[in-house]
Amino acid sequence: MPELPEVETVRRGLLPVMEGQRIAKADIRRPDLRWPFPENMAARLTDKTVTALRRRSKYILADLDSGETLIIHLGMSGRMLISGQTVGEFHHPHPVPEKHDHVVLDMEGGSRVTFNDARRFGAMDLADTARLEDHWLIAPIGPEPLGNTFNEAYLAKRLHGRNTPIKSALLDQRIVAGLGNIYVCEVLHRAKISPRRKAGNLSAKRAGALVPIIRDVLAEAIEAGGSSLRDYRQADGELGYFQHTFRVYDREGSPCVTEGCDGTVRRIVQSGRSSFYCAQCQR
């Protein structure tokens, strides 16, 4: 499932064709994805202008001049793809519609934004913008890891006394928004903390030290366009490149890249998810 860097990369790719632009036509080609679409979704989107395109955790939020916000979740295989753009002297025509093109937004400038989702684990909903923070998908989410409210004191306090493994704690969207399996593995390796370690056993200093590492990993991943492992693509169809710099994720059996460490990357399963780490330098 796309994590914060992938969703942020897609949002940035959509900005030039969506923010400040009117949706000339919304074509909703099925009644649902993971959940049913909201009532009269096509009519509620058509002829509305996108006043802002934001992100909250792993959700893209398109604020409309109607006072509603389109909530978009990519799910396991969802893609937001752009066609019809003119770049310099070159015009990229719209492709032939595909089987899994479920939502198509024709923008007033001639561009088209298509939500394609083969597995249909993605989701879209419409909510009152003024009350968006009360929406059931948004309300439980913790602070953004790149924001000011996510700091050393906050994280140390939230981890204090927790009996769950630190890997599980950092995946808890109520503690910090947007982190997923890939980036938590990478963060813990840089911090030299075992994914098995109980979150409550970390000192306040060591827990707080995770904050700048989390920010660094996410910033580097966003700069690289995210990580492409299976289905993920940027909005222009290009792959992300952060997977080429993984230190531990999906590197089972490979030598640890930490300087001076002669350990090997291991894989264990925690709560049904693969954790990759070096048992020698991560304690």
pTM of the model: 0.90
Asked whether the predicted pLDDT for residue 120 surpasses 50, the reply is yes
The answer as to whether 140 is a domain residue is: no
Instruction: Identify the domain containing residue 162 by its residue range.
Output: 152-278
Question: Using one digit for the tens of pLDDT, what is the confidence trace for 237-266?
Answer: 554 546 678 899 999 999 999 999 999 999
Instruction: Check if 273 is active-site.
Output: yes
Give the pLDDT of residue 208.
Answer: 96
Same domain as 216, residue 244: yes
Same domain as 266, residue 163: yes
Same domain as 203, residue 115: no
Q: Is 87 helix (H, G, I), strand (E, B) or coil?
A: strand
- Which of 3, 6, 8, 186 is catalytic? The answer is 3
Same domain as 128, residue 159: no
Instruction: Check if 48 is active-site.
Output: no
Instruction: Check if 79 is active-site.
Output: no
- What residues contact residue 186 under an 8 Å CB cut-off, 6+ apart? 217, 246, 247, 248, 249
Task: Tell me the mean pLDDT in the region 130-159.
Answer: 97
- Which of 56, 58, 167, 233 is catalytic? The answer is 58
CATH code, domain carrying 37: 3.20.190.10
Task: Tell me the mean pLDDT in the region 61-66.
Answer: 98
The radius of gyration of the chain from alpha carbons, rounded to an integer in Å, stands at 20
Q: Alpha-carbon distance 12 to 10, whole Å?
A: 5
- Which of 12, 120, 190, 273 is catalytic? The answer is 273
The answer as to whether 254 is a domain residue is: yes
Residue 143 identity: P
Final residue before a domain boundary, out of 104, 134, 164: 134
Instruction: Check if 108 is active-site.
Output: no
Burial environment of residue 128 by CB neighbours within 10 A (0 to 12, 13 to 18, 19 or more): exposed
Same domain as 128, residue 24: yes
Same domain as 198, residue 93: no
Residue with tokens 């923010």: 19
Number of domains in the chain: 2
Q: In this structure, what DSSP letter does residue 143 have?
A: -
The answer as to whether 147 is a domain residue is: no
